[in-house]
Structure 1
Amino acid sequence: METANDDHLKLLFNVYNKLIGARFYDSKGLNSGVSVRDTQGHGTHTASIAAGNQVTNVSFFGLAQGNARGAVPSARIAVYKVYWEEGCDAQDILSAFDDAISDGVDILSVSLGGEKSDDYSIDPIAIFAFHAMQNGILISQSAGNNGPGPRSVSSIAPWILSVAASNTDRKIIDKVILGDNTTLVVRMTRCI
């Protein structure tokens, strides 16, 4: 476990005062060059959903214009990175939960999904979340990456607030003109 010292993280620590702590966990030592730095955008994405500052006049190339912000822009973030390309280990998840409880966090946004289990005694996230809940911490977890379909939600422990992605009926329609002057109509549905 180490603390971040990356220039990008220093900017978040020192300028924005948004990121107040960052740790990583790699109990098996499988990851060379381990760092809390977000290498695939997932951590940045989930952090902005939770606590992103308001940004005005955002759009998708001029379409779907509006304002964007996280759920609680005034919140500050402590990062506990447990997931790697190889997956994650229950021991690392436990360590991160214990550190978050010890650090006095108010909410844990757990962007980890696992195999669905109706037996809470073998689901490490459900077990650790119960311990955090007993310490007054609200746990919000990804509902999972399967579905949509019956019984496709993997986060089902009743003490966890399960959050799922959705979409809206907003369709973005635009034209693409190719070099030979062929015009194509492009339709996209924006996921939220």
Structure 2
Amino acid sequence: MGFYQPTSVTNLPAAGGDVIIGVIDSGIWPELPSFDDRGYGPPPAKWKGVCNGGTNFTCNNGFPSSKIIGARHYSGTGSARDLQGHGSHTASTAAGSVVKDASFYGVARGIARGGVPWARIATYSVCGLTCSSADVLAAFDDAIADGVDVITISIGRRSAVDLDRDTIAIGGFHATKRGILTVHSAGNGGPDPATTASVAPWLLSVAASTIDRKFESKVVLGNGKIFTVNKHFFAV
């Protein structure tokens, strides 16, 4: 798409390190390469949050390095550590650091990075087996008070509801009033319009697309003949 492609933390735009992204999800797994804090400075001065990750969780918010600068957990989770993977996935998509030689079991090998790889992360773990509406609203309040610049939340209903009953729309409205952008997933049920869960005009949702990647593999038949097959990999 022509975006700037950094190859390491050392050549990231320095100013971007002041961006704080609040991730409201199932928590985060701090040891993943996507959250490597080497090369980062201390948390931005505007940060007012805490590292209250609960059981078996430590932010990498020491000095001089800090990528994950804050963590909170809510009822039913016990820890900000991600035990289902979804929160780590969404956090790395938004702000994962540069990871070289990444692949899916050898397929699509290259550099993995988030949309804003130099940003800091504050995680708000609201989802255990389920996600409580009260916890989601509490996480919005905490993220706003903590001083995040952007909130990303990739959880929600299977279809849209009235805005006055939509927890994420309500929380996002309060964030927007304070100049904080809320990015919300539109849902996975498409493509019918009724399956779009994010309809509030103050929330930003990005449509999913497909990636057409071509891979070459060789097929050996029983008679010893070798054929080269071009395969297309589509990811939605």
- Of the three residues 16, 25, 46, the one matched with 2:90 is 46
Moved over 6 A (4+): none
Aligned pairs for 1:3-14 (under 5 A) are 3-4=52-53, 9-10=57-58, 12-14=60-62
- Of the three residues 99, 103, 107, the one matched with 2:146 is 103
Q: Which residue of 2 aligns with 1:18?
A: 67
- The answer as to 2:105 corresponding to 1:64 is no
Residues 144, 164 of structure 1: 8 Å contact kept: no
Residues 95, 118 of structure 2: 8 Å contact kept: yes
Relative to structure 1, is the Cα distance of residues 5 and 98 closer, same or farther in structure 2, using a 3 angstrom cutoff?
A: closer
- The answer as to 2:127 corresponding to 1:79 is no
Cα distance, 1:63 vs structure 2: 3.9
Q: Which residue of 2 aligns with 1:167?
A: 210
Deviations 1:33-54 (A, max 9, x none): x211111111111111111111
Report % sequence identity.
49
Query: The residue matched to 1:10 in structure 2 has which SS?
Result: coil
Cα distance, 1:163 vs structure 2: 2.8
Deviations 1:121-179 (A, max 9, x none): 111110110011001000001111212333321111110001343321224464688xx
Residue 204 of structure 2 aligns to which amino acid in structure 1? Answer: L
Residue 113 of structure 1 aligns to which amino acid in structure 2? Answer: G
Query: The residue matched to 1:36 in structure 2 has which SS?
Result: coil
Q: Tell me how far apart the structure 2 counterparts of residues 173 and 152 of structure 1 sit (CA, whole Å).
A: 36
Residue 43 of structure 1 aligns to which amino acid in structure 2? Answer: G
Structure 1 unaligned regions, length at least 5:
none
Relative to structure 1, is the Cα distance of residues 188 and 100 closer, same or farther in structure 2, using a 3 angstrom cutoff?
A: same
Q: Which residue of 1 aligns with 2:131?
A: 88
Residue 98 of structure 1 aligns to which amino acid in structure 2? Answer: D
Structure 2 unaligned regions, length at least 5:
1-50
Q: Tell me how far apart the structure 2 counterparts of residues 21 and 155 of structure 1 sit (CA, whole Å).
A: 27
Residues 187, 197 of structure 2: 8 Å contact kept: yes
Q: Which residue of 2 aligns with 1:36?
A: 80
Residue 3 of structure 1 aligns to which amino acid in structure 2? Answer: N
Residue 53 of structure 1 aligns to which amino acid in structure 2? Answer: S
Q: Tell me how far apart the structure 2 counterparts of residues 162 and 77 of structure 1 sit (CA, whole Å).
A: 20
- Count residues in correspondence: 182
Relative to structure 1, is the Cα distance of residues 10 and 148 closer, same or farther in structure 2, using a 3 angstrom cutoff?
A: same
Residue 167 of structure 2 aligns to which amino acid in structure 1? Answer: P
Query: The residue matched to 2:90 in structure 1 has which SS?
Result: helix
Relative to structure 1, is the Cα distance of residues 16 and 144 closer, same or farther in structure 2, using a 3 angstrom cutoff?
A: farther
TM-score by length of 2: 0.66
Query: The residue matched to 1:37 in structure 2 has which SS?
Result: coil
